[in-house]
Amino acid sequence: QSGGGKSTFLRQIITTLYLNNPKFEFVLIDLKGGLEFQIFENKERMNVVPNTSSALEFMERLDETLQSRMAILKQNECKDIDAFLKLPAEKRIASCAVNRTVVVIDEAAELFMASDKSGANDAQRAKRLTIKLAAQGRAVGIHLIVATQRPDVKAVDGQIKANLSGIVAFQMPNMHSSQTILDNSRAAHLPKIPGRCIWKTS
């Protein structure tokens, strides 16, 4: 629900990861015109993406990054980025730097649903690229956070949800919304305390 703490929570996650991991890179897709993530603009290693068309361009680039990193891992006989980063630097075969990338999509419904800002083709393309990143990105160090204030099945694709390793649900307006996100009604019964949420990992 509006005012429940989602945006504050997202900014806390980004800030914590940024300060504790000096090599992490960030793609922050903020479809409120860049208002929510404007505090991160012009920061090193941060890319704030304020609209749907720019978001699609970045998603296409991330897809290319995914492919190139898969090739690097295969070349180094590593099953994932953890194994690659454990290799001594002198033994690594890499054509480019392989750092972890955190992709945050805020107001995901704006990206995944056709509207006056994006047509049906763009919405489908965005959803297809996000499903691929969710399914394959973690192994190559591309980590996805998807946030929405519209918890319905059109905005929260089942394939994306199935490939996210954890879910944070703030207070929901009704049991149906809670069911969509958590597969139970508990988020509809949270006390009206800003920031109160449920964290689900299994």
DSSP string, 172-193: -SSHHHHHHHHSSSGGGGS-S-
Q: What percent of the chain has pLDDT above 90?
A: 55
Mean pLDDT of 170-184: 90
**Any alpha helices (H) in 21-119, and if so which ranges?**
52-75, 81-86, 108-112
The CB-based long-range contact list for 8-13 (8 Å cut-off, 24+ gap) reads: 8/195, 9/168, 9/170, 9/195, 9/197, 10/36, 10/104, 10/106, 10/145, 10/147, 11/36, 11/37, 11/39, 13/104, 13/145
Which of these, 169, 161, 166, 167, lies nearest to 127 by C-alpha position?
Answer: 161
Question: Between the CA of residue 32 and those of 28, 105, 110, 193, what are the distances in Å?
Answer: 11, 11, 9, 24
* Separation of alpha carbons 162 and 200, rounded Å: 13
Whether 117 has a pLDDT exceeding 80, the answer reads: no
Lowest mean pLDDT among 62-76, 84-98, 137-151: 84-98
Q: pLDDT per residue over 1-58, tens digit each?
A: 677 788 899 999 999 999 999 999 999 998 877 788 999 999 999 999 988 889 999 9
Q: What percent of the chain has pLDDT above 70?
A: 97
Whether 115 has a pLDDT exceeding 70, the answer reads: no
Query: Mean pLDDT for the chain?
Result: 89
Whether 110 has a pLDDT exceeding 80, the answer reads: yes
Instruction: Say what the pLDDT of residue 23 is.
Output: 94
